[in-house]
Structure 1
Amino acid sequence: MTATVSDFVIDRLQEWGVGRVFGYPGDGIGDLDGALGRAERAGTGVSYVRPTHEEVSSLMATAHAKFTGEVGVCIATSSPGGFHLLNGLYDAKMDNQPVVAIVGQQPTTSLGTFVQQESNLERAFADVAVYVHTVVAPAQAQAVIDTAFRTARLRLGPAVVILPHDVQAMKMPDMASPRPSVARSSAVAPSMSITPPPEEIARAAEIINSGAKVTFLVGHGAAGATAEILEAASLVGAGIITALRGKQVVPSDVPHHTQQLGLLGSLPSVKQMKDCDTLVLLGTNFPYSEYLPRSGQARAVQIDLKPEHLGLRYPTELDLWGDVRSTLAALIPHLDRTDDLSWQNTAADNMVEWEAEMTAQAMVTYEDGVNPRRVFHELNKRLPAQAIVTADAGSTADWYGHHIRLRDGMTGDLSGRLATMLGAMPYATAAKFAFPERTVVCTIGDGAFQMLGMNELITIKKYLESWGDDPRFIVIVLHNDDLTQVSWEMRTQDANPLWSTAQDVESVDYAGWAELLGFAAWRVRSDDDVEPALDAAFATRGVTLIDAYTSKNTPPLPPHISAEFAKNTGIALLKGDPAEPGVLTASAQALLVEGVERAKQKLHLGQDEDPD
């Protein structure tokens, strides 16, 4: 059979190392779909995963890139299918992930004639894509596909290839022979190992060596550099903070790793930023600059592969354009070993006290439902080796940041800078496809679960058998009938009371829905139900959904409560917040625990001043 452009595209994907694509069919991409089917029947194609919605396809492709380090690939039909990809592609763009989207288009002869589902897709994708182009002739296909993959990798973002329907079915020419004006491109992945010049490495070492209180702020862009980060921190006695998406880069059992910074962070991280004299930013675009040191307080060095991120969040003294691993490897021989580990030890001691506070907060009993902190606290204790945990935007991200500790070999992630709702389910499903032998846990709120999460239980049912002998997959739904994070943001940021018309979430029997699909399910209605439900879930060799009826009034307290936070919350309650009694009671309980734990810390440290 004569190879078509579609046949060539599938072969080229495999040359780029693609083994799995996430797609949704349609007539605009019909011939490529047909070629995928032919390749599957012949046993020569890529694995094709079809979830319930194109948006899920692009989120799964982004998650695949995050969890594997490979290029994620999603496929959709023309206009409506392509537009549905946008949210997941923006997730890739904003979290710097290489994704290639292949989108169908109406025939080239109809472009610009206002036929059904014909639109200017290049213009639509221009903002999200690091590269977007339409293949208008077969001889162009090789160069466009190759450029899309190369650009996605080098510029760390989504690239879009648009394939008109008629071009998909055209005969693919022999690309081995030279032809005028036809590029013969390469399917070889570019090197990402970039090291700054020696003189810049030496200057960075001088800045770091001169510091007495050095802090490393580590983001997901430092993935793969764990050993180098730990060695460099050991040499200079640095404390380590990770951004939320950087949790997995530094194991939680490193004593001087104080976890996250900011609203979802820890008090020890706040203290590091308050007192450090040297700040080293490693692969992070941490966006909350108000939590970073005062200008002029710390000398700062930043290392990043994204040049536009350099010097963006803090007045750095030196910006190094390079990947974290190779740059640190070059830097380490120039770092002086210090015998003074007091700064590092202080961070470790503070973290012990913080963990005690988090445990105490998890043990609080609330009148309106299960303490969501208890769910995450007990989940963390039970995570097996190599576990993968996903969290959704919203309150699950709060509890994930405060209570989940990723030990060596564990992985966790969520939609970062975009912070889109519903991402936890496609993230978890993509992780299970990539690593079927590992236990995957999805934590998600009921609002996000109603968006598209419930649908994806259908996808899981469809593909469950492909996950091998241990398809262990746990979904934990925080069921409180409220868009909790937004409700609290209305109070703390805008001094507005809860608006039930917008915030209420219709109650659904999520466990019943899982049981209808043949999955195991547990309804957790009290704090005492949490442990047996989790034990049963981890013992189930299959899919389990935990429907946790949690308190919506549990306050997502930041490590340090600002005057604005307290003032706005008070004003919102005075305006007639319908949840006022529950909010007041729950907040008082949480604040009491915080006060007791910090008083214990103060006594333990022999301080005469508030540890904040």
Structure 2
Amino acid sequence: MGQTVANHLLQRLRGWGVENIFGYPGDGINGIVAELGEAEGPHFVQSRHEEMSAFEAVGYAKFSGNLGVCMATSGPGGVHLLNGLYDAKLDHVPVLAIVGQTHRTGMGGSIQQEIDMHTLYKDVADAYVQTAMVPEQFPNLIDRAIRTALSERRPTAVIIPADLQETDYSPPQHEFKHVPSSKPGLSRPLVVPPKDEVRRAADVVNAGEKVAILIGQGARGAADEVVELAEETRGGVAKALLGKDVLDDELPFVTGGIGLLGTRPTWEMLRDCDTFLMIGSNVPYAQHLPPFGKRAVQIDIDPNMIGMRYPTEVNLVGDAAETLRRLLREVRSRKGEKGPERWREGIEKSVREWWDSMDQQAHVPADPVNPMRICNELSPRLPDNVVVTSDSGSAANWYARHLRFKTGMRGSLSGTLATMGCGVPYAIGAKFAHPDRPAIALVGDGAMQMNGMAELITVRRYAGEWSDPRLIVCVLHNDDLNQVTWELRAMGGSPKPPFSQDLPPVSYAGFAQSIGLGGETVDDADAVGPAWDRALAADGPVVLDIHCDPDIPPIPPYVETDQLTDTSKALASGDPDRFGVMVKGLRTKLQEFTSPRR
């Protein structure tokens, strides 16, 4: 009996080093699933929903640096993958989607579960999407999809009709219009900018006295070079949300995040700098970057992302680490110079005061637990090799502002799509990428009800395969779609409408216990720290169900007048929580001005 197309597909994936396929079965991929049962790999990870399969593939790719692979059946299965794949596209993550299709004889006949998959995937997988029609198209389809995903850091898709999967494989021949392929593998070129452009960039940097550096996930392999640049220029370093884990927060010149989820030291530094360097970041909010008119340099590996967020003077397309090494040869040291040293001293003072105020804000009384206290207590307890994921929503505020990462820690969330529901599956993907590392997911109760509870079943199923079985899901339980509630107030001037914002109460710890996981309910602020200690010492997955106060506001570092006006209008219009919001919001903001100064 000859090799089937499905068997050849799995063999090719193994050749590329693919260890896991995150998916959900269906008759559109029966041929592949049947071969998986007989093959030596890859390992099939069954989620509870195809969207979770895609998120798990994204989480795996983000934390491993390798290709993530997800798989779904024809029709509804392929539709369900889309949200996770758009997350990969917008955050520049390499993911391959393998999607089933109806039999070739039925295509175009409006039969059950037939969708024009090629057209459906043409946007999300615009880098490469192809529908296989004959065996001879393999292995080229798979090889090209993988090379494209890895080289362009984007999702790609291969659509395989169900009957073709079971057809005997025959390789492409040395014939007209046959397309061969070569051995799996990808040689990545080292991209560096021209010397004269590096010198121009150095001239800009050397002319400045108040240097501000913004790094994103594209600087992940260049942490040492970023530190050296900051030391030589006496500048400070801010971090985009996806670059939060790039640089150690214990460094005194690291100002933290940018934007609405950012910090006051970052806002002040970018406001007052005279020279701006953006490295490996595609922050989409120009209003949070320095006022136009500053001298600026951008470094990015992707020429499509150059010069589109700020009117930069010099744009360097290249690998961040190698480009910075070449730039550093041309940058003169400003150590000991009065102006740059005064600038650095001001940055470090602002950072110290900010962390003091964050601690004070986390201890503002709340009913029952201040949500900031959750991350405030976790931060000093983070294991050195931890992987942290955050869902979208108010949880992302506290993740961004209160967690202090050290070198070796990893963390991520849905940065650009900002989709709900990714926190738990990201953590599952992280555990398959690093089964020997503890993982923590910070999840709002809205996202938990959306799909996190179901995916706890996946956690229970696979925890025994992880050498370190610790996966802590921390639910910020406030029975409110809290981030949207605050957006309604601050951006729409609308009081909270309970009919759309209130959530039905659920015991998340109780649900975890009912399926055999650890679960603990916390409704006292002083119990938060000990609860983290117990969860981190556990010998298996744990759900911490922490009841927190929805009236604690996620106040940005700089409150714009229109946001303050809209919030005041919303509260005056009969917001049901107006009294608690006003009192606790005032107490929280005051901590920035009353915390001890060093």
TM-score (norm 2): 0.97
Q: Find out whether 1:332 has 2:328 as its counterpart.
A: yes
Letter in 2 for 1:435: H
Which residue of the partner structure matches residue 609 of structure 1? none
Letter in 2 for 1:11: Q
Which residue of the partner structure matches residue 445 of structure 2? 446
Indicate which of 567, 570, 575 corresponds to 2:568.
570
* Sequence identity percentage: 43
Which residue of the partner structure matches residue 527 of structure 2? 529
Q: Find out whether 1:30 has 2:25 as its counterpart.
A: no
Change over 3 Å in CA distance of 1:210–1:592 after alignment to 2: closer
Q: Find out whether 1:301 has 2:288 as its counterpart.
A: no
Aligned residue for 1:514, secondary structure, equals helix
Letter in 2 for 1:249: V
Query: Counterparts of 1:161-172 in structure 2 under 5 Å?
Result: 161-172=158-169
Q: Find out whether 1:131 has 2:128 as its counterpart.
A: yes
Whole-Å Cα distance in 1 between the matches of residues 223 and 21 of structure 2? 29
Q: Find out whether 1:103 has 2:102 as its counterpart.
A: no
CA contact (8 A) 1:241 1:258 kept: yes
Which residue of the partner structure matches residue 511 of structure 1? 509
Letter in 2 for 1:407: K
Which residue of the partner structure matches residue 9 of structure 2? 9
Q: Deviations over 1:302-359 (max 9, x none)?
A: 1112222211111011122222122222222222122233323321221000000000
Which residue of the partner structure matches residue 147 of structure 2? 150
| Displacement after TM superposition at 1:435 (Å) | 1.0
Which residue of the partner structure matches residue 83 of structure 1? 79
| Displacement after TM superposition at 1:578 (Å) | 1.2
Whole-Å Cα distance in 2 between the matches of residues 549 and 363 of structure 1? 15
Whole-Å Cα distance in 1 between the matches of residues 211 and 553 of structure 2? 32
Which residue of the partner structure matches residue 559 of structure 1? 557
Q: Find out whether 1:466 has 2:453 as its counterpart.
A: no
Change over 3 Å in CA distance of 1:501–1:241 after alignment to 2: same
Which residue of the partner structure matches residue 431 of structure 2? 432
Which residue of the partner structure matches residue 240 of structure 2? 243
Letter in 2 for 1:244: L
Q: Find out whether 1:119 has 2:118 as its counterpart.
A: no
Q: Deviations over 1:90-115 (max 9, x none)?
A: 00000011110000001112111101
Whole-Å Cα distance in 2 between the matches of residues 399 and 485 of structure 1? 12
| Displacement after TM superposition at 1:422 (Å) | 1.0
Query: Counterparts of 1:273-312 in structure 2 under 5 Å?
Result: 273-296=270-293, 298-312=294-308
Q: Deviations over 1:371-412 (max 9, x none)?
A: 010111001111111111111100000001110011000000
Which residue of the partner structure matches residue 481 of structure 1? 479
Whole-Å Cα distance in 2 between the matches of residues 579 and 190 of structure 1? 58
CA contact (8 A) 2:64 2:434 kept: no
Please say which of residues 475-484 and 534-543 is displaced more in the overlay.
534-543
Which residue of the partner structure matches residue 356 of structure 1? 356
Letter in 2 for 1:36: L
Q: Deviations over 1:183-223 (max 9, x none)?
A: 22232214153111222122112211221111110001222
Whole-Å Cα distance in 1 between the matches of residues 176 and 187 of structure 2? 26
Please say which of residues 344-353 and 70-79 is displaced more in the overlay.
344-353
CA contact (8 A) 1:153 1:190 kept: no
Whole-Å Cα distance in 1 between the matches of residues 252 and 425 of structure 2? 33
Aligned residue for 1:57, secondary structure, equals helix
Query: Which aligned segments of 4 or more residues in structure 1 are displaced greater than 3 angstroms?
Result: none
Which residue of the partner structure matches residue 249 of structure 2? 252
CA contact (8 A) 1:441 1:476 kept: yes
Q: Deviations over 1:110-147 (max 9, x none)?
A: 11110111111111011111211101111112111111
Structure 2 unaligned regions, length at least 5: none
CA contact (8 A) 1:303 1:310 kept: yes
Please say which of residues 312-321 and 84-93 is displaced more in the overlay.
312-321
Aligned residue for 2:254, secondary structure, equals coil
CA contact (8 A) 1:192 1:323 kept: no
Aligned residue for 1:259, secondary structure, equals strand
| Displacement after TM superposition at 1:292 (Å) | 1.0
Whole-Å Cα distance in 2 between the matches of residues 259 and 225 of structure 1? 17
Which residue of the partner structure matches residue 205 of structure 2? 208
Structure 1 unaligned regions, length at least 5: 605-612
Whole-Å Cα distance in 1 between the matches of residues 472 and 220 of structure 2? 25
Letter in 2 for 1:402: R
CA contact (8 A) 1:150 1:190 kept: no
Letter in 1 for 2:503: V
Which residue of the partner structure matches residue 536 of structure 2? 538
| Displacement after TM superposition at 1:160 (Å) | 0.6
Aligned residue for 1:286, secondary structure, equals coil
Please say which of residues 341-350 and 526-535 is displaced more in the overlay.
341-350
Q: Deviations over 1:514-553 (max 9, x none)?
A: 1111222211111121122111111111111111010000
For the aligned residue pairs, the C-alpha RMSD in angstroms reads 1.3
| Displacement after TM superposition at 1:591 (Å) | 2.6
| Displacement after TM superposition at 1:174 (Å) | 3.8
Whole-Å Cα distance in 1 between the matches of residues 536 and 124 of structure 2? 39
Q: Deviations over 1:12-40 (max 9, x none)?
A: 1122221111011110011011111110x
Q: Find out whether 1:51 has 2:47 as its counterpart.
A: yes
Indicate which of 64, 67, 70 corresponds to 2:63.
67
Whole-Å Cα distance in 2 between the matches of residues 592 and 211 of structure 1? 34
Whole-Å Cα distance in 2 between the matches of residues 65 and 336 of structure 1? 38
Whole-Å Cα distance in 1 between the matches of residues 535 and 50 of structure 2? 30
| Displacement after TM superposition at 1:179 (Å) | 3.0
| Displacement after TM superposition at 1:594 (Å) | 2.9
